[in-house]
Structure 1
Amino acid sequence: MDIVIKGRHTTVPERFRSHVAEKLSKLDKIAHKVIRVDVEVTAEANPRQTDRSERVELTLHSKGPVIRAEAAAADRYAALDLATDKLVARLRKAADRRRVHRGSRTPISVAAATAGLDGASTIPAQPTPAPAPPAVTPAATAVTAVEEPLDAYAVPDSGPMVVREKTHRAEPMTLDQALYEMELVGHDFYLYVDAESKMPSVVYRRRGYDYGVIRLDV
């Protein structure tokens, strides 16, 4: 398992890098064929946010869906602990889903459960239990340092400021899979290509435990 550590608006000392490597090496025991974990540490300069001045974002890449977690605290060590706890919880949810779908207890899909609802605009979420994780043989861990220049996000002279751009490969998927992957990355929305309609779509979280879907007819 490779660990890539990047600092945004901050430097990441070797002591913290060693701590990250030691803490994340335990993921091998519960994760499924982890390839790489990206660790991004961000420092907030706003003095009004001292209790959330350090943010740690973890992104786990494997042969399955990307799993992500982030947290903020007064120091980066506490933020790392909180983010790791969230990541472990999502890893266990992913492990449980694999066991359920490989056995005889395959749950009904979201689309099938709502097929008979006329004019339904929301989709109920399906709660998933979190049993003990499966054992996985530990793998070697490599840590890579990536430093981002402090002035990489300087305010431009004119026009809107784009602070981040991301490009992801997209494989068509069902609505049920899109909901599942949205939960694993901890976002309130998820952009995907619907496998049935071939439309670019967004599933998003609404109040309570409901979801909505927006599709683009191109």
Structure 2
Amino acid sequence: MEIVITGRHTQIKQKFRDVVDSKMNRVTAIAPDTQRIQIVVSHEGNPRLADTAKRVEITVIAGSTVVRAEASNADEFSALDMALDKLTLRLRRTRDRRKDHRRGYAPVPLEAGHEVPPSEETADIEGDVDVENSPEAAVASELAPGESVEVQVGDTPIVIRRKLHVAEPMSIDEALYEMELIGHDFFLFVNKATNRPSVVYHRHGWSYGVFEIDTPENVKKEQEAREEHEA
């Protein structure tokens, strides 16, 4: 198993690396097939945010499965413990869910939603590409799979970020599974049943929603095709 620790605006001390090595057995105990663990430690320089000055992000890669968790605290050791607690909980849910599927577990029914919660911005470990400082350039530029662009809108603090992610179409149940793995409140995917861009998201408690997008032209074509088939 490979452990990679990266610092952003901070140096990684050997003591922290030793603590990480001693605690990662919690991960392998739950997910013995773990191949790589990526840890990113970030420092917030604003003194008003001293209580959350250190942020630790942990990403576990086990085959095609990716599980993430992050936490912030006054020091990197406390943030590591908090992030690790979240991570192990998600790993256990993943393990239990696999057992449930083998036992014939039926997924929780989804309710149709009309609102999608705002996206949770996550920092990439690598792959950012700077381009011309305009939102038009960010949207119009060609991207390779996994590549991203980030631009600031004029003199404002607004930043627009765009990334190309290539993924196979999946079912709603598979999308829910992926959403739980990365710890987000939503997950964007292509529904293989409808071939539409779709989003699954948390509503409240154990309730989920699904939101699909299509163009008026496609909806009209599908309606006409159904009417022709019924005629």
TM-score, reference length from structure 2: 0.68
1:55 maps to 55
Percent sequence identity over matched residues? 46
Do the aligned partners of residues 165 and 179 (structure 1) sit closer, same or farther apart at CA in structure 2, a change above 3 Å counting? same
Instruction: Name the amino acid aligned to 2:177.
Output: Y
Structure with more contact order per residue of length (Cα contacts < 8 Å, sep ≥ 6) = 1
2:184 equivalent to 1:203: no
- Aligned CA RMSD, in angstroms, stands at 2.8
Is the CA contact 2:151–2:160 (under 8 Å) kept in the aligned structure 1? Answer: no
* CA distance in 1 between partners of 2:2 and 2:159 (Å): 29
Question: Equivalent residue for 2:184?
Answer: 187
**Paired residue type of 1:58:** I
Compute the displacement of 1:189 (Å).
1.0
Change (3 A) 1:50 1:7: same
Equivalent position of 2:94 in the other structure: 94
Report deviation, 1:109. 2.8
* Structure 1 segments of 4+ aligned residues over 6 angstroms from their partners: 153-157
- Does structure 1 retain, via aligned residues, the 8 Å contact 2:26–2:88? no
Give 1:156 shift.
Answer: 8.4
SS in 2 for 1:197: coil
Residues 207 and 66 from structure 1, CA distance in 2 versus in 1: closer, same or farther, beyond 3 angstroms?
same
Secondary structure of 1:178's partner?
Answer: helix
CA gap 1:17/1:169 in 2 versus in 1, 3 angstroms: farther
Label 1:154 to 1:6 Cα distance change in 2 as closer, same or farther (>3 A). farther
Equivalent pairs counted in the alignment come to 181
Alignment of 1:137-216 (within 5 A): 158=155, 162=159, 167-216=164-213
How far is 1:183 from its partner?
Answer: 1.5
**Alpha-carbon displacement from aligned partner over 1:153-208 (angstroms, at most 9, x marks no partner):** 99787466648665544122111121122122111111111121122211122244
Structural mapping, 1:24-35, within 5 Å: 24-35=24-35
Larger radius of gyration: 2
TM-score (norm 1): 0.72
Aligned partners of 2:15, 2:106: CA distance in 1, in Å?
Answer: 48
SS in 2 for 1:66: strand
Q: Please list every run of 5 or more consecutive structure 2 residues that lacks an aligned counterpart in the other structure.
A: 114-124, 127-149, 216-231
Matches within 5 A, 1:14-163: 14-102=14-102, 105-110=103-108, 113=109, 120-122=111-113, 158=155, 162=159
CA distance, structure 1, for counterparts of residue 192 and residue 160 of structure 2: 31
In the TM superposition, what whole-angstrom CA distance separates every residue of 1:8-34 from its partner, at most 9, and x where no partner exists?
Answer: 122212221222122114422210411
Paired position in structure 2 for 1:5: 5
Letter in 2 for 1:191: L
